[in-house]
Structure 1
Amino acid sequence: MSKRDTEGFDCDVIIAGAGPVGLTLAIDLGRRGIGCVVLERNSGPTPWPKMDRTNARSMEMFRRIGLADRIRARGYPADNPMDVLLVRRLCDPPLAVLPFPSVAEARRRIAACRDGSLPLEPYQLVSQNDLEPLLREAADELPAVSLRDSSELLSLTQDENGVTAEVADAAGGGSHHVHGRYLIGCDGGRSTVRRALGIGLEGQGGLRELRQVVFGSRDLYAKIRAGKGRHYNFAEPNGSMIIAQGSRREFSLHTNLPADTDFVPVLRDLIGFDCEIEIRHLLTWRYNLLVAERYRLGRVLLAGDSAHLVIPTGGLGMNTGVGDAFDLSWKLAGTLAGWGGPGLLDAYEAERRPVAMFNRDAAGWAAEGVPLWRRYVTPEAVQDGPEQAALIEAFCTCHSRMHNMVGAEWAYSYAGSPLIADEPGNAPVWETSRYEPHARPGVRLPHMWLRDGRPIQDVAGDGYTLLDLGGAEGGSGAATLADAFAALGAPLGVLRLDDPDLRAVYGRRLLLLRPDLHIAWRGERMPDDPLALARRVTGHRS
């Protein structure tokens, strides 16, 4: 529980939903001393793999809260190939391979990188049913976080001071109330919170229907002859793909086949050799490209799938939600601590909704690549010849869309946000499949190594950081900004470094970093009115 006056409240923040987004939000709030109650309608974590890839930007964020290594221990080993393959069957040589570096190889490239073009952390393959238990463990370690399973949010009311949630009792059929200063809806695509607020969704829903068949096998992965990787796309008419989940003992088949299919013989035909197969779960899911019309109403806000639903192509669903959580957590903490102005939480929608809109469209573009190459799947295409060559070329060109979305993952910008200082020529524009490092206000600080071998992200604190690349040289006016932040009661650390490599990438001597390590302002010297800058980035500017 936080140290503020909480009389009449059970917590500072009620979080509806204990999926990866709700738990990530609770962890970052809890480590900042913000009291949270997390309400989960189910009796425990998700038992089935809903996602499989935590992207590099999310892993950078998880590093900030001390979880990156713990997450990697639950997923693919560092030396496991991350390739994506086109195959006839798993017993045959592959028709085509889209190569991607293992985590170990990606780390070697990152270690040698000195131009800011690579992230601090590589991606990680870890299934949601492996990730969620870990996030629960991390949340349980924080005294400020209370996780309540079998607690379904039924309704909510709010006034100018707080929010009251009506929660179903796990036993007895009754209900009770939980009172908080804010409530965050992280309760999925069918969000009770979003519906209670009367917020609609924009975009396209129910575009296509697919089956996900979760099955277990202790010996399948070791026996695969097509090559080790993570995704296996089959050159057959049912659109089948098998994903090797993080444990490599659980797999997902995605297919157009109807739900009443006997999937064991289907799997045996796709695999082509004898192995253990245990069908564990069958799920029908639909393609959606939807974003909530708004992210906030009063003291209630939306994050994760309650705010945006995208096709899994590109892995932008949960990862976009993790970005929501890290954007929202420090804004809530600052507001509750009193140093955040009224514009701090208002800027959450201004910053995160454009990212969701971009990612919605990027996921749709990636999904459109699949039928483009699958139209080349014919009986002749699995035989050597021009038809097979055409299939392979189409697969390598079109299927790679969903696996090369580095721009969507790292390059998004909050330029234009009321919390970001203006810079001539700056605009919130980025590309889906390309990342060019720069430090214009609004983007995440590009990863750079310091001379002592530490990454700069590890040196920046949990509050605001003024990065002074003039080293010990005086005259930057840093003290005036420190005084301005002190007048507002907002946390600011000053980090002085003398490093030409950083100066070359970041482009200015001074950079003001937010708690989420997005750049709020940069310049060669302090502005004439440091207090105006401090007020702007903390939400006090109207």
Structure 2
Amino acid sequence: MSINTDVLIVGAGPVGLTLAVDLGMRGIDCVLVERKEEPQFLPKMERCNARTMEIYRRMGLAERIRAAGLRADVPMDVFVVRNMTEPPLLHLDYPSVEAARAQIAACDDTSQPAEPYQLISQYTLEPLLKSVAERLGPVQVMYGTEFEDFTEDAAGVSAVMRTARGAEEVRAQYMVGCDGGASRVRKKLGISLRGEGDILRLRQALYRCDELFDRIPIGEGPGKGRHYHVADGQSSFLIMQDSTRHWTLHAQVDSDAAMAGQFEKVVGTPVDYEMLHVGEWKQNLLLADRYGAGRVFLAGDAVHLVIPTGGLGMNTGVGDAIDLSWKLAATLRGWAGPNLLRSYEVERRQIGDRNVGASRYASLGRRKWRSMWTPEMEMDTPEARALECRLAEVADVEQRKTNEMIGAELGYRYVDSPVIWPEPGGPEHRLRQYDPTAWTGVRLPHAWVKAGSSIHDLIGDGFTVLRLGRKPPDAAPLVAALAAQGAPATTLDIPDDRLRDLYGRDLFLVRPDLHIVWRGNALPDNVTALARITTGHSTDGMPQAHAG
């Protein structure tokens, strides 16, 4: 049996599913293959950050994801504890989704995202995205299908799959490996991961405990929250999952069976529970040398492996998928120049590198306060309490590096991209502070045009020429120049001087993924050159990045 499609996606985790859904919504035929028979009920990621939720808002999925995830009224607080029955050593207060949405709704500038974060476990998110993908006509979803090998020629990729029926071939114009850290696609390409591997090994267990959330606070223990870091010698870390009935625990123990006793020790009081799964995982900080070769691309954990500190793993992968999706669609529709697909690696690898660094920064912070624990702290002495106070003081600084990554989430900028108009300078890349600049290469900052309507909601699926203020310059020549390249382009007029002042320019050219290609108070002299760069074509007289 042979299947023909435009794009073959290997791996149906959140990254592969997001890519398939976005391609399907763009009318691009794709086949998504996954070796598992169905999504698995295993603990992995558990939070979509603000940028990811903005992406899902654009796809019309944000409210469905929120309905499936953690209740909006539950606080996202983080604690450092001895156990769940004693007073916490540290309490970091973070708002619930409900409170964060109220803060965003009341904001009248560009300092907030269009959407706050959402706690949703991967075992909840994957079936949701799978159900969306399966209802899209252009998408064919094939679980129980394992990628084995591929060959490439000038016209496409032929991949061999193994199913219960035997070997099958899929012929596609392009292939994307979203098949995780052990990516077979990446290995077949001969692309290496570099960095720090196998830094630390821990066990992770998933438990069902129906009563724990409702009983919190237990005695003098911490209140309701998201994360409970235990000050102990096992690096124990208790995480509430989206149902509030399931919990995961990370710890360094000698055996799988020991994770039951470790859960009981951390909880600190008898509860009815069932341990559903135990597995070992290792911390890595790795980045791929390349993000693909020829007609084959890589995304997600296949190209960047981070420690979950900062929550940048899956969320970075969703950014990969959205960057690649519209570029594949443009290429398949025939209007993209060669630089458009080339820009995927240029843009996303620098973000992967930055986020590996951000994860390292956060992890070192956590390691710093954890290294201060000593067995003496388990004693009931004034000296032990003094040591705990000092640990809490350091954790109050260092643990925030994990939980406050808004700059990394929203403030990233594509530098030296061949499909973004060159603009000298640019804002500093900050991990924990978001500078809502509207510089070229950044995501267009969110602002409300009217109650409940973000400027993001008005940007179309093609290129958008945004005209701000009551007297903006004519943009018709730029729209015509883009149309001459075959690219879809529209004009969006927002005659609001408040927004013009917030964004700082009269005109913006915005891509389908909301990143700013160009800005100015008048069109450039050569709009054809701008249109050619934007659509991925080489242009004489431009910087080397745009030369092809």
Q: 1:4 maps to which residue?
A: none
Q: Does 1:178 align with 2:170?
A: yes
Q: Does 1:58 align with 2:52?
A: yes
Query: Which of 338, 343, 358 is matched with 2:339 structurally?
Result: 343
Counterpart contact for 1:114–1:501, Cα < 8 Å: no
Counterpart contact for 1:259–1:284, Cα < 8 Å: no
Shift of 1:379: 4.8
In the TM superposition, 1:164-175 aligns within 5 A as 164-171=158-165, 174-175=166-167
Counterpart contact for 1:9–1:181, Cα < 8 Å: no
**Partner secondary structure for residue 399 of structure 2:** helix
**Partner secondary structure for residue 495 of structure 1:** strand
Q: Which amino acid aligns with 1:509?
A: D
Q: Does 1:76 align with 2:70?
A: yes
**Partner secondary structure for residue 449 of structure 2:** coil
Shift of 1:260: 4.2
Shift of 1:319: 0.3
* In structure 1, C-alpha distance between the alignment counterparts of 2:406 and 2:349, rounded to whole Å: 19
Q: 2:267 maps to which residue?
A: 271
Q: Does 1:214 align with 2:211?
A: no
* In structure 1, C-alpha distance between the alignment counterparts of 2:232 and 2:396, rounded to whole Å: 17
Counterpart contact for 2:469–2:499, Cα < 8 Å: no
In the TM superposition, 1:66-145 aligns within 5 A as 66-145=60-139
Counterpart contact for 2:253–2:259, Cα < 8 Å: no
Shift of 1:20: 0.2
**Partner secondary structure for residue 448 of structure 2:** coil
Query: Which of 27, 43, 57 is matched with 2:21 structurally?
Result: 27
Shift of 1:211: 0.7
Q: Which amino acid aligns with 2:127?
A: P
Unaligned stretches of 5+ in structure 2?
539-547
**Partner secondary structure for residue 279 of structure 1:** strand
* In structure 1, C-alpha distance between the alignment counterparts of 2:286 and 2:82, rounded to whole Å: 34
Q: 2:226 maps to which residue?
A: 230
Q: 1:258 maps to which residue?
A: 254
Shift of 1:453: 4.6
Shift of 1:166: 0.2
Alignment root-mean-square deviation, CA:
1.4
Q: Does 1:491 align with 2:488?
A: yes
Counterpart contact for 1:313–1:363, Cα < 8 Å: yes
Superposed CA deviations along residues 282-340 of structure 1, whole A, max 9, x for unmatched, are 11111111111001211000000111111111111000000000000000000001111
**Partner secondary structure for residue 76 of structure 2:** coil
* In structure 1, C-alpha distance between the alignment counterparts of 2:97 and 2:214, rounded to whole Å: 19
Q: 2:310 maps to which residue?
A: 314
Q: Which moved more, 1:367-376 or 1:525-534?
A: 367-376
Shift of 1:527: 0.9
Unaligned stretches of 5+ in structure 1?
1-7
Query: Which of 511, 516, 533 is matched with 1:519 structurally?
Result: 516
Q: Which moved more, 1:232-241 or 1:12-21?
A: 232-241
Shift of 1:165: 0.6
Identity, % of aligned positions: 49
**Partner secondary structure for residue 346 of structure 2:** helix
Q: 2:415 maps to which residue?
A: 415
**Partner secondary structure for residue 53 of structure 1:** coil
Superposed CA deviations along residues 41-66 of structure 1, whole A, max 9, x for unmatched, are 11011321201111000000000001
Superposed CA deviations along residues 176-219 of structure 1, whole A, max 9, x for unmatched, are 10000000000010101001111111211111111101111111
Q: 1:536 maps to which residue?
A: 533
Counterpart contact for 1:39–1:147, Cα < 8 Å: yes
Counterpart contact for 1:470–1:498, Cα < 8 Å: yes
Q: Which amino acid aligns with 1:507?
A: G
Q: Does 1:470 align with 2:469?
A: yes
Shift of 1:501: 2.2
* In structure 2, C-alpha distance between the alignment counterparts of 1:468 and 1:329, rounded to whole Å: 26
Distance 1:46 1:501, change over 3 A: farther
* In structure 1, C-alpha distance between the alignment counterparts of 2:232 and 2:184, rounded to whole Å: 40
Q: 2:400 maps to which residue?
A: 400
Q: Which moved more, 1:501-510 or 1:35-44?
A: 501-510
* In structure 2, C-alpha distance between the alignment counterparts of 1:414 and 1:122, rounded to whole Å: 23
Shift of 1:377: 2.2
Q: 1:504 maps to which residue?
A: 501
Q: Which moved more, 1:306-315 or 1:252-261?
A: 252-261
Q: 1:188 maps to which residue?
A: 180
* In structure 2, C-alpha distance between the alignment counterparts of 1:115 and 1:445, rounded to whole Å: 13
Q: 2:439 maps to which residue?
A: 440
Equivalent residues, number: 530
Q: Which moved more, 1:440-449 or 1:263-272?
A: 263-272
Q: Does 1:245 align with 2:237?
A: no
Shift of 1:351: 0.1
* In structure 2, C-alpha distance between the alignment counterparts of 1:33 and 1:345, rounded to whole Å: 18
**Partner secondary structure for residue 39 of structure 1:** strand
Counterpart contact for 1:447–1:457, Cα < 8 Å: yes
* In structure 2, C-alpha distance between the alignment counterparts of 1:526 and 1:396, rounded to whole Å: 49
Shift of 1:378: 3.2
